[in-house]
Structure 1
Amino acid sequence: MNILHIDSCALGDSSASRQYTAAIVSQLTIADPQANLLYRDLAAAPLSHASGPLLQVLSERWDASIPMSTELSAEALQSASLLQEFHDADLVVIGAPMHNYSVPSTLKAWLDRLLELTALKACKEDNANKRVILVTSSCTFVGNTPMESLMDHHETLLKAAFTSLGVTRQHVLRNNTDLSQPLEFKAAA
């Protein structure tokens, strides 16, 4: 099994989402010692946000009369590498805390690249059996009042993004999930 582990919270080791993703990945690698693990910390090594020229390159709408800079070429290669990491993974574990009512911008930058490249390629079918575990944390809004439901929508954004990528097997674990209890993703591992 190939596991892609993504963390995005800028708070470092004190982050609840990082602690949860680490615990989940630990359980998965204990259950499958042969698992290959690739770790990407989007807070420690943030991606640039998608510029107009980068989006043109990724969507294959680049005007060949405009010279390709070294930086832009490197960004395009990195984007292709990110997409390959995602496609090679059987399971993706993502720490996705809520920052200012949405996902961290570093996670959004990663998703932007995947979504743009996947929209071009007929590779959504390849993701049908991929599993994504979204570890979300939002300590501020945990109730069910109308105002709280408006503010805590980052899970909906993430589910929509991964559904768009063709991933139908999604599990959401919140920061209050007891990881010592049997979890449904373990049975599916």
Structure 2
Amino acid sequence: MLAENLNPAAQAGEDQASLAPEFAARAAHLTAAVAGVAAARAESQASTECWSTSPERFEAESLSNLVIANDWLRAGDIVYVGTKRAVTLADVIDAQDIILIMSQRSTKLAGEGADGYPGVTEKQKQILEAALRGWIALCCPPDFLGVENIRRYSITDLDLDVAARAVIGGAQ
């Protein structure tokens, strides 16, 4: 008896259709909640300048801090500057990524028999998007920042002097 209740094929089309408004309402609620979380994160992690000795790992918040932490730097050396930005949930994954993976895997499993799978409407895609964003926001929100607008910068004697004065000023 229990198996009959859990069998989705036994569900009538009307029963499934009657759930659509409930899913839509939940999706709207999740979307609003996620938007609030994303806005709060973006506000708390406003774009700021960051510096590095390589274009891969940005750890210094100022050129002076970079020079102080890397005392081997000299005038003429190249460093990198970029702008920190909050990573959004859409940067990590979105509904289209999931749909593409489903399509590729089903084609691998069934070949041409899976053509057109999954046939997803725009509304169904929005529901998946809201579910993904809700899950990510609750379970594993990005706790790191991205860096954009990365540029090369050549250190000058003046930059070294400013960093040295910061060290001397901080030691007093």
TM-score bin, normalised by smaller chain: under 0.3
Determine which structure has greater relative contact order: mean sequence separation of CA pairs < 8 Å that are 6+ residues apart, divided by chain length: 2
Identify the structure with the greater helix proportion: 2
TM-score, structure 2 normalization = 0.22
Bigger-Rg structure (1/2): 2
TM-score, structure 1 normalization = 0.21
